[in-house]
Chains A and B, each alone.
Chain A
């Protein structure tokens, strides 16, 4: 998100006047642990993609491969690591 706005610049009542702007809210900085995928173990089953509550698992649908994470929005909940059948995702502490 760009520089935070001062109170005089805000829409009255905290109303959001544009649709689909949740993407601008970078929730990645809530994270205490970051998921990291080991592609040697990954079987591209897409379980992580299906279970991620934030749509933060990136896949290449044409090639049928899981490619990584959207760290701008991943909150580090660890569901992907927990659900991964081949234990290919590690949760690394953020510092």
Chain B
């Protein structure tokens, strides 16, 4: 990451970084309900509203189901709309998430990742976002507060692109990112405003001279065609995500892809992870590199749409891959990242051996030593020449 000497540097936690980005974006409507560990973000944003620093209509609602419903109404009316949630709040939004995507409403939402109950837990895992994986939202994961800030700003432009017009979810790991103060380079308000540009509503309900209907009955005769066009829309987001990242690099000096490869060029083994664990994994990779091991990390930034071609390109040359999953698909063949990555590799010209580790559920800490263990395990598997056990656990007491 290039350091921009002209940038303004602030000490912000992840929630504050996102709230600050929201202030700079200055959306028309924010409808949100507080939930740990996201609360801090919407509280700060509510302060910006009360201080008159934004023109946003802040809608206080009685639940997350209502928050997303209000966002849908506001977006259909023709406004630029944002919100934030976490964990069970996201789960409560579940049915309305699908509606937001189906109606092609470019809502941007920050999700502070937290474990789903039960038992009740407020700390980080990815079960909340993975539960919303199939809802039709674009999903961008952040490694740190800087990426959460940068992703939120890019998300607005991705969501609103006329070839996409889909809601975007930007995640950050609960507490690990959301509550840890980091050095964050922020852009000037004007630069952010110019980047996102004025909002161009499409089929706004408030355009009374062109009345439209949102969400009509759609049965066996047309529902399938509408889903097909939704598949097309999210596929269309690939070039848009790339283009927006390139434009963002010009204003920030920071580059983003669907994936980030860390020391993969000559690597034989790699770990794959999402979110803050990638920072820890870089430590582990560095430690093993010092011992002469050819290891690397593949970080997935964009999980939906799933960048299959890039995954194949990055992983096919490797001998072995350990996929880290911070959520469980109970009864499934591995976690959501594992199943997706393994499926992508089926068409690859060559196949690394691939194993899966569950880790970090309910906020269980993960250390570089855990990731070293995962990399040593996959090296061991490759030496044996076959995978005996696909699924393992890191940091779990037997």
Contact = CB atoms under 8 A, between A and B. Distances in A.
B80 interface: no
A93 interface: no
Interface stretch (B125-133, B215-223, B241-249, B279-287): B215-223
B210 A17 contact: yes
B212 A14 contact: no
Q: Which of A7, A10, A14, A16 has the most CB of B within 10 A?
A: A14
Contact of A5 (B165, B215, B225): B225
Contacts of B218: 14
Contacts of A14: 102-103, 215-216, 218, 222, 226
B250 to A, nearest CB: 29
A12 interface: yes
Contacts, number: 51
A8 interface: yes
A12 B229 contact: yes
Contacts of B215: 14
A15 B214 CA distance: 5
Most buried by A among B203, B211, B216, B229: B229
B211 A13 contact: no
Contacts of B212: 15-17
Contacts of A17: 203, 210, 212
Contacts of A5: 222, 225
Contacts of A64: none
Q: A interface, by DSSP: helix, strand, loop or mixed?
A: loop
A8 B229 contact: yes
Nearest to B223: A14
B225 A10 contact: yes
Given A14-B103, A14-B215, A7 B210 contact: no
Given A14-B215, A15-B213, A17-B203, A4 B222 contact: yes
Nearest to A5: B225
Nearest to B221: A4
Q: Which of A8, A15, A16 lies at the interface centre, i.e. has the most chain B CB atoms within 10 A of its CB?
A: A15
Interface residues of A, number: 14
Contacts of B211: 19
B65 interface: no
Contacts of A11: 203
Contact of A16 (B105, B165, B213, B232): B213
B233 A12 contact: yes
A13 B225 contact: no
Q: Identify the interface centre among A5, A6, A10, A12: most chain B CB within 10 Å of its CB.
A: A12
B104 A13 contact: yes
Contact of B203 (A7, A10, A15, A19): A15
A81 to B, nearest CB: 26
Interface centre among A8, A13, A16 (most CB of B within 10 A): A13
B228 interface: yes
Interface string B21-38: 000000000000000000
A7 B226 contact: yes
Contacts of A7: 224-226, 228-229, 232
Interface in B155-212: 165, 202-203, 210-212
Contacts of A6: 225
Given A17-B210, A17-B212, A19-B211, A12 B104 contact: yes
Contacts of B225: 5-7, 10
A59 to B, nearest CB: 28
Interface string B92-117: 00000000001111000000000000
A17 B232 CA distance: 21
5 closest Cβ pairs, A-B complex: A13-B104, A7-B225, A16-B213, A7-B228, A13-B103
Interface of A: 4-8, 10-17, 19
Given A7-B225, A12-B202, 15 more contacts: A4-B222, A6-B225, A7-B226, A8-B229, A10-B229, A11-B203, A12-B104, A13-B103, A13-B105, A13-B165, A15-B214, A17-B203, A17-B210, A19-B211, A19-B213
22 contacts: A4-B221, A5-B225, A7-B228, A7-B229, A7-B232, A8-B229, A10-B225, A10-B226, A10-B229, A11-B203, A12-B165, A12-B202, A12-B233, A13-B105, A13-B165, A13-B214, A13-B226, A15-B203, A15-B212, A15-B214, A19-B211, A19-B213
